[in-house]
Chain A
Amino acid sequence: MFRAPERLKDEYDVVIIGGGGHGLAAAYYLAKNHGITDVAVLEKAYLGGGGTGRNTAIIRSNYLTSEGVRFYNRSVELFRDLSRELDFNLFYSERGHFTLAHSTSSLNTMRWRAEVNKHLGVDSKIVGREFIQQSIPEMDLDCGGHQAPVYGALFHPPGAIARHDAVAWGYARGADRSGAEIHQQTTVTDIEVREGEVAGVHTDKGFIKTKKVLSAVAGWTTYVTKMVGLRTPLVIHPLQAFVTEPLKPWLNHIVVSASLHLYVSQSSRGELVAGASLDPQELISMRSSLDFAESLCGHLADMFPMVGSTNILRQWAGLCDMTPDFSPIMGKTSIKGFYIDAGWGTWGFKATPVSGETMAATVATDQQHELIVPFALDRFRRFQLVGEKGAASVGH
C-alpha cells in the first residue's frame, strides 16, 4: 500500500515524529497544500498503533468554546469528503450523537453548548426523554434505578464514527504517493538544538539533518519535550475502552453519558465499542484493569439491560496527554523549527484532518495557522486558556 524506504537520507526539509493519524495527515497536507515533499515520517513502532488505533472513533463538533467549535467543525468538513479524496474507504458513518444529561446543571451546560453550536452553524439541539426513547427504544432512561434518570440530551445529528486505522492508512498512502517517506521501526533518540534552533534529529538508525521538526506523538510528547527542554502542562493518563462480541445491528446512534462515565456506539462489524473516563492517576502505561471493565459493564447494563449477557471481546488502553483546559497544544514553540502537535487527551482522533491541515500550514509558512492561534503553547504564560468543557471525560 505504501513504500518502505530502505534507509534514511542524510537530510530532509521536514521531519515528522510519529506515524499516527496526525503526523501522516500533516505529511499529506504538506505535499498537497504546500508542495513540500522532502519529508520523513518517523514511527518507532507501526502506523496508527498509538492514540489513532486506541480511541473509540467518534467524530463530532458540538463543543463549548467558539475556538473549539470552529476547529472541530473544519475537521468534520474534511472528514465528510475524505474517503473520496484519499480514494480509500474510511467507513465514515453519520449516526447522530446523544450526550445525556442526568441532572439539571448538566442540562444547563448543554443548553449553553447548543446555543454556541447553533450560532456557529453546527447542527445541535436539546431534546427531551420522548425523543431519546423513540430514537433508541432499547435504552432504559431510568438506568434501572441505580443511577440518576436521563432528563434530556444534547443531540448532534452529524456525529459520526469511522474506521480509525483506515484514516492512518489512507493518509499514509496519500503522503507516500506524493513523495514523503514513511519510516516505521525508527525511534527518535534525541533532537539537536543549536542556539535555539533545530539542527537535526538523532535516531536509532543514524543522524538526520533538518531545520524543521514536527512532534506529533500525543501520549509520548513528554519524552520528546524532554529532549528539547521544553516545559508544558502535559501529564499522561490512560483511558481504557473495550469492544463486545458482534451483535446484530440495533444501536444506530452514538450515546455518551458523562455522569455514567460511558460512551458507546456499534461498529460496522456489530461490536459495541465502549469507553469510560480517564484513570485517576498519572500513568504512562497501556495496561488494562479489571476495575475499569467491571464498572463500565455495570453502567452499560444499567443503561442497556439487554446487553447483560454479552461477552467482552477485547480491552485496551490508550495514553492521553491531558492539558488543564482540555484544549490541544498546537503550533510554534520558543525553539525555532520545533513545532508541537500535542495535548490530544481524549479528543485527538476527531481532529486528525484539521490538525494535519493546520500543522502543515504552520510548518510550511512558520506562521501559526489562524484556526490554531488560540491553541499555542504560550497561552498558559499569558493566562489565556481555552476552557473546553465540551470535551469527552469532562464532568459537567
Chain B
Amino acid sequence: MKIINCPINGPRPAQEFHYGGQFREMPDPDAVSDDQWADYIFNRNGEPGIKREWWYHLPSGTWFVAERDNCSDRFLRTYLYKQESSP
C-alpha cells in the first residue's frame, strides 16, 4: 500500500489523500500584463522533475504542500503551507 506523510497526522494510506494541483504563486492581477495573467491562469510546468504540489488529507481536512517526483511518484517531503522549515 502506498503511504503519504500528512504533516498533521503522520503516515497514512494514499487513498485518504486528494491531489490539488501544482503549487503556484499568484502574481498581482493589477501589476501584470494580460499575457502574463493568461500564462498564470493556463500554463503549467508539465516537465519531468520534482514538483511542489497541493495535497489534501480528506479525513482531517488538511491542505498541505508536497514535493513529489512526477516520474517515480515518490514523495520527498510534505509540510504545511509557509511552514517549510518545520520538521
Q: How many A-B residue pairs have CB under 8 A?
A: 58
Chain A 221-266 interface residues, beta-carbon cutoff 8 Å to B: 221-223, 225-226, 231-236
A381 and B38: CB pair below 8 A? yes
B35 and A381: CB pair below 8 A? yes
How many interface residues does A have (CB within 8 Å)? 25
Besides A281-B73, A321-B46, 4 new A-B residue pairs in contact (Cβ under 8 A), listed by A number: A235-B44, A284-B71, A291-B15, A382-B38
Q: Does B42 sit at the interface, judged by CB under 8 A?
A: yes
Known: A283-B70, A284-B71. A231 touches B38 (CB 8 A): no
A380 and B46: CB pair below 8 A? no
Contacts of B42 in A (CB 8 A): 233, 324, 380
B38 and A383: CB pair below 8 A? yes
A285 and B72: CB pair below 8 A? yes
A380 vs B42: C-alpha distance in the bound complex, in angstroms?
7
Question: For B35, B46, B53, which residue has the most chain A Cβ atoms within 10 angstroms?
Answer: B46
A173 vs B72: C-alpha distance in the bound complex, in angstroms?
36
A280 vs B19: C-alpha distance in the bound complex, in angstroms?
7
Question: For B18, B19, B53, B73, which residue has the most chain A Cβ atoms within 10 angstroms?
Answer: B73
Closest 6 CB pairs of A and B: A281-B19, A222-B46, A380-B42, A235-B46, A231-B43, A234-B46
Which residue of A is nearest B68, CB measured?
A281
How many interface residues does B have (CB within 8 Å)? 21
Q: Does B61 sit at the interface, judged by CB under 8 A?
A: no
**B46-87 near A? 1/0 per residue, CB < 8 Å:** 111001010000000000000010111100000000000000
Q: Does B30 sit at the interface, judged by CB under 8 A?
A: no
A308 vs B19: C-alpha distance in the bound complex, in angstroms?
32
A285 vs B44: C-alpha distance in the bound complex, in angstroms?
18
- B17, chain A: closest CB distance, angstroms: 9
Known: A282-B51, A282-B70, A383-B38. A232 touches B46 (CB 8 A): yes
Chain A 170-189 interface residues, beta-carbon cutoff 8 Å to B: none
B47 and A231: CB pair below 8 A? no
- B40, chain A: closest CB distance, angstroms: 11
A231 vs B18: C-alpha distance in the bound complex, in angstroms?
26
B39 and A231: CB pair below 8 A? yes
Contacts of B19 in A (CB 8 A): 280-282
A285 and B73: CB pair below 8 A? yes
A265 vs B3: C-alpha distance in the bound complex, in angstroms?
35
22 contacting pairs across A/B (C-beta < 8 A):
A222-B46, A222-B47, A222-B48, A225-B47, A232-B43, A232-B44, A235-B44, A236-B70, A281-B19, A281-B68, A282-B22, A282-B46, A282-B51, A283-B70, A284-B48, A284-B70, A285-B71, A287-B73, A380-B41, A380-B42, A381-B35, A381-B39
